[in-house]
Amino acid sequence: YTQTVHMGRSEPVYFAFGNPPTTELIIYKQNDKNEPLEGAVFEIYIDNTKAFTMTTQDDGYIRITPEEFGKYLGSGENKTTWDITVTEITPPSGYLLPVVEQRSQTQTIQQGQTTVSFSFVNTIYPEIRLIKEDGDTCEPLDNALFQLDIAGKTFGTFITDSKGEIVIKYEDSTNEKGELVKGYGRFLDDLDEPNANQWQVKFTEITPPGGYLLPDNPVQENTLVLGQTLSVFSFYNWKYPDIVIKKYDSSNNQLLAGATFDIFIDGTQIPGSFITDIDGTIRISYDVYGTYLDNINKPADKTWTVRVVETSAPANYFNAGVLTNKSQENILVLGSKLTEFVFKN
């Protein structure tokens, strides 16, 4: 800046120069709960020329002093305005970059302006959470195996814990046993979709808990959306029913021990014979017949024909065939409490 005056012979000449203050640049980073975020990386451009690359501190701020910032503002002769553009290039760990339209902000500052401030908001990636429960009691079920697909690609397989849950976070975490549960963040990075803000998430039940059948529909899908809580995936399983045989005295309806029966499922005999106990009852759970049942039925089957044949009556009793038919059939049905047979001697 130049000043020119015309001076007389004996008069002093005074020149006055003023310098406007330079500007402090402030960038603030927070989440959608107004909490400061550390670790966000920004590029700062002055009139389309990159001047700084800086990272927010634990208070969420980047502060560039007037001395540092002023070096760049003074580069243009007689300039009185500058365009300042701030662009987020890396979000804090566990957070999404804003959508493309919100990653950059531009302000025009005037000569003499003391402060220019920018504020950015990041949204955390939601958890992916699944709950597995008994269809009758709603008790949590562990040891159910699921496959998880994200954006049409398989991410991995996971097993429900003692609370019947699978919880997958953006970052790696540990389960109740202290085992590593890989986070899905790096998987999204590998998809190479920098502008995506939603992804399709699909769980498929592969193996039900012991003693339970796969549900009719073992697949559920939902959409993981930036800034939204993902709905919980809820799966229910029903137990295989018990097969119950009861033996009565035909005259007084007392239960009788010592009657022997053979059992057939879909025409194939379960190995061994079964004898009524002191309460006149035989109760056969899935733990007894399950492995054999799986060998003779497709997993999709939901009903089976069970035939029970009395082969030996209790001591001092006639076989059931003397009074009634010694063979009975019933249907073993998914979701029922039991399949019961009653015989009288």
pLDDT reading at 18 higher than 70 = no
pLDDT at 41: 95
Residue-level pLDDT at 328: 85
Average of pLDDT values for 325-337? 72
- More reliable by pLDDT, 226 or 310: 310
Per residue in 247-278, pLDDT (tens digit) is 998 889 899 999 999 998 888 888 888 999 99
Decide which of 244 and 95 is more confident: 244
Between CA 45 and CA 113 the distance in angstroms is: 17
Running DSSP on this structure, what letter comes out for residue 102?
G
Across the strands, what pairs with 333? 303
pLDDT at 127: 87
* Residue-averaged pLDDT of the chain: 84
List pLDDT tens digits, range 26-62: 999 998 889 999 999 999 999 999 999 999 999 999 9
pLDDT band at 229 (very low <50, low <70, confident <90, very high): confident
Q: Cα 202 from chain centroid?
A: 10
pLDDT band (50, 70, 90) for residue 324: low
* Residue 225, CA distances (Å) to 124, 174, 262 in order: 11, 24, 57
- 179-209 per-position pLDDT tens digit: 888 988 888 878 877 667 789 999 999 998 8
* Phi, psi (deg, nearest 5) at residue 198: -155, 150
Q: What is the reported pLDDT for 267?
A: 84
CA torsion angle 52 28 121 150 (round to 10) = 50
> How buried is 224 (Cβ within 10 angstroms: 0-12 exposed, 13-18 middle, 19+ buried)?
buried
**What is the pLDDT at residue 8?**
63
Measured between alpha carbons, how far is 342 from 234 in angstroms, rounded to an integer?
38
Residue with tokens 């899905």: 184
Longest dimension (CA), the chain: 150
* Residue 176, both tokens: 């109740």
